[in-house]
Amino acid sequence: MAKVITMGEIMLRLSTPNFEKFIQADEFDINYGGGEANVAVSLANYGHDAEFVTAVPDNEIGECAVAALRKYNVGTKNIARCGERLGIYYLESGSSVRPSKVVYDRAHSSISTAKASDFNFDEIFKGADWFHFTGITPAISDAAAELTLEALKAAKKAGVKISVDLNFRKKLWSSEKAQKVMKELCKYVDVCIGNEEDAELVLGYKPGKTDVTSGELELAGYKSIFEQMVKDYGFEYCVSSLRESRSASDNGWSACIYSSKTKEFYHSRTYNLHPIVDRVGGGDSFAGGVICGLLDGKDFKDALEFGVAASALKHTIPGDFNFASRKEVDTLCGGDASGRVQR
């Protein structure tokens, strides 16, 4: 199996139980998660050698976050202990016409103040096959953006394949700042993953008449911007998840991919997700599935189908992490979406 490095922030997740609003809640459910950590858990779950690079405070809460990763066989030896605190995010899970809401409490978190000198990137990337990061990490702080750049330089020097999930977060930075930073970081990327909103707000490409709010999709627009992105950045693959948001509880879920080598554009099978248990981490489970498929040597179309199925299953699982097994993903890819009890 392949050695994969992911780098970013792991946070304490405090979510309201039973779809309650914040104002109703007398208690919170506790989980740990974060974009790149979620991808690492997915890949470790599929049998790959996944390691997560981050910084956590040198206290009991920081160790709880590390323990949450170790529990699912993610390597933690390159996690630095430094900084003031672990970031927190509060989740109010939506239902039907009421959207989910996230409140961040992550200012001055350990990873936001970490420096390249806190890590030995030459050692971290020794023998690695793949490096994954997201647009969330450089959005956290200027220091985190610089740290990401240094990691990318080291990964490229080591000959490691690099993927990014663009992941625009308007509560962390503006589109103008995102484009200024991410256009530079994407020069190092081989596989670019995102959605229609990310492509526009992070890199400035709008896919035709697609409307992220209504869920109206125009596939021809995706092919057009993928061709332009490949031309501008030299990506090997451009990948986009496609979410048709009928409500917070009812989504259509598929994805598309473009290969720069074959010039082929492919749209996956569509899954109807209803009811949705937890969509947070859905994009990360998709990225993890696609990366797994490519690392396994699957055809890029099959890799996409594996990622879409993995994410469809994640929408049925509470928490940030995807615990769907390879067998479960393969079964869904094979067409069995019956949900019948297995005895």
Q: In whole numbers, what is the pLDDT of the chain averaged over residues?
A: 95
Its pTM stands at: 0.95
Q: Contact at 8 Å (CB) between 64 and 105?
A: no
Share of the chain above pLDDT 70, in %: 97
- For residue 280 the two structure tokens come to 């947070």
343 has pLDDT over 90: no
- For residue 220 the two structure tokens come to 């021809």
Between 74 and 213, the more confident residue is 74
CA distance 47 to 59: 30
3-332: CATH topology = UDP-N-acetylmuramoyl-L-alanine:D-glutamate ligase (3.40.1190)
What pLDDT digit, counting tens, does each position of 159-186 carry?
999 999 999 999 999 999 999 999 999 9
Residues 6+ apart with CB under 8 A from 294: 191, 237, 300, 303
3-state secondary structure of 270: coil
Angle, in degrees to the nearest 10, between helices 282-295 and 300-314: 150
What pLDDT digit, counting tens, does each position of 226-260 carry?
999 999 999 999 999 999 989 999 999 999 999 99
User: φ and ψ at 160, to 5 degrees?
Assistant: -90, 140
The model's confidence at residue 338, banded by pLDDT at 50, 70 and 90, is: confident
The residue whose two tokens read 């103040």 is 113
285 has pLDDT over 70: yes
DSSP bridge partners of 75? 51
Residue 305: other Cβ atoms inside 10 A: 25
Residues 6+ apart with CB under 8 A from 335: none
Among residues 272, 232, 266, the alpha carbon closest in space to that of 251 is found at 272
| For residues 307-313, average pLDDT | 98
Share of the chain above pLDDT 90, in %: 91
The model's confidence at residue 85, banded by pLDDT at 50, 70 and 90, is: very high
Torsion of CA 34, 324, 29, 41, to 10 degrees: -30
What pLDDT digit, counting tens, does each position of 95-119 carry?
999 999 999 999 999 999 999 999 9
